[in-house]
Amino acid sequence: MEKATFGAGCFWGVEEHFRKIPGVIETAVGYMGGTKKNPTYEEVCTGQTGHAEVVHLVFDVQQVTYEQLLWEFFHMHDPTTLNRQGPDRGTQYRSVVFYHHQAQQKQAEKMKERLNQSGKFRDPVVTEIAPASTFYRAEEYHQRYLQKRGAQSCH
C-alpha cells in the first residue's frame, strides 16, 4: 500500500473521482500545505491558513500505479488555472501534488513537463509539486460528501 495526496479544487468531486478507481483502497478529504495546526473548513475557506483542499489516498500498487493516479489527477481538473477551479477561487483550490517520497516527486514533475510539451493545454500547467506535510482530516460531513447525497459531481 502507498499514499498519495492531490488538490484539484473542491475536494468533494475529486474524492468521488478517485474513490471509483480500482486499486484505491481508502480516500479521505482534508487540508494540507498550510501553517495553522488543525484548521477548520471555515478557516481554510478564508485563504489565510495556506492550506489546500486535498484528497488523501491509500492505494494498492498491484492494482493501480502512481503514474495512473497522476494521469487521472491531471485530467479531472484544469491544471492551468492558478488558485481556481470552475466557480471556486482562492489558494485553497489550487492545483497541487503533495508527494510522499522522491519517486513520486520525479513522476509528478515528469508528467507535468510532458503535459506542458504535449500541447494538450493552451496555457502552461501551473500545478504546484510540493512535499507532503501534515494531513488534517476534514470534518466528517465532508467525507464522501457526494456519495452521501447520491450525487456524481459538484456542478
CA distance 54 to 83: 13
Give catalytic residues, as residue numbers. Answer: 10
Please state the pTM of the whole predicted model. 0.94
Residue 35 lies in a domain: yes
Count up the domains in the chain and report the number.
1
- Exposure class string for 54-92: b at 16+ Cβ within 10 A, else e: bbbbebeeeebebeebbebbbebbbbbbebbbeeeeebb
Binned at pLDDT 50, 70 and 90, residue 155 comes out as low
Residue 63 lies in a domain: yes
Sheet containing 128-131, strands listed edge to edge, beginning at the edge strand earlier in sequence: 128-131, 95-99, 2-8, 52-59, 24-32, 136-137
Q: Of how many residues is the chain composed?
A: 155
Number of Cβ atoms within 10 Å of the Cβ of 144: 16
Please write the tens of the pLDDT for every residue from 79-115: 999 999 988 999 999 999 999 999 999 999 999 999 9
Residue 39 lies in a domain: yes
Q: What is the CATH number of the domain that holds 50?
A: 3.30.1060.10
pLDDT value of position 134: 98
Q: What is the mean pLDDT of the chain?
A: 95
Residue 154 lies in a domain: no
